[in-house]
Amino acid sequence: MLNNSASVNKVADEMSKLIPKLMRGIKTGIFRHAHITHGQIVILMNLYGTGENKVGTLAKALGVSAPTVSGIIERMVKQGYVQRIASLEDRRCVIISLRPKGERIIKDLQKVIRKRWSQILIYLSPSERLSYVRLIKKIVEAIEKSRE
């Protein structure tokens, strides 16, 4: 078990050095293309996947407070990316949904992201690409389980 622990620590150390480089490499050109912040992209992608969401749920997705998300949402409403809708069940609750402009931003962004990944993945063999996707899926599952 000691060897397994040491191995995990060694890999974790290596990952802590590699992941920031990976993220910088992937993000190159993505945010410049969209002209919006990382937080706005996270909110737009969340809404694109769910259709609509409460401010509190969006705050959890970003890992920030509801007032912080409310400020981001305010700017996004002014930019025409999202809209606020009063909940029919609870008038105190506000639902945020995508507007067509926000949906266009996400679709354009997905094209840019796919193009960027294509530029990166050509350096891997077909079997390495499949292994990479399989491992990323496993890591995402582990992340989701660790949040529970």
**What is the per-residue pLDDT for 2?**
45
Handedness of CA 128, 15, 139, 31 (dihedral sign): negative
95 secondary structure, DSSP code = E
Summarised one tens digit per residue, pLDDT across range 108-120 is 888 888 888 898 8
**Tokens read off for 127:** 């079997």
Give the length of the chain: 148
Q: Give 83-88 contacts, CB < 8 A, sequence gap 24+.
A: 85/52, 87/54
Domains by residue range for the chain, with CATH: 2-147 (1.10.10.10)
Which residues make Cβ contacts (< 8 Å) with residue 53, sequence separation at least 6? 46, 47, 95, 96
Q: What are phi and psi of 54, to 5 degrees?
A: -85, 155
**What is the per-residue pLDDT for 75?**
94
Q: Stretch 66-82: mean pLDDT, rounded?
A: 94
Scanning 28-125, the segments in alpha helix (DSSP H) are 30-34, 38-50, 55-62, 66-79, 100-121
**Residue that the structure tokens 């506000």 belong to:** 94
Answering whether pTM is above 0.75, one says no
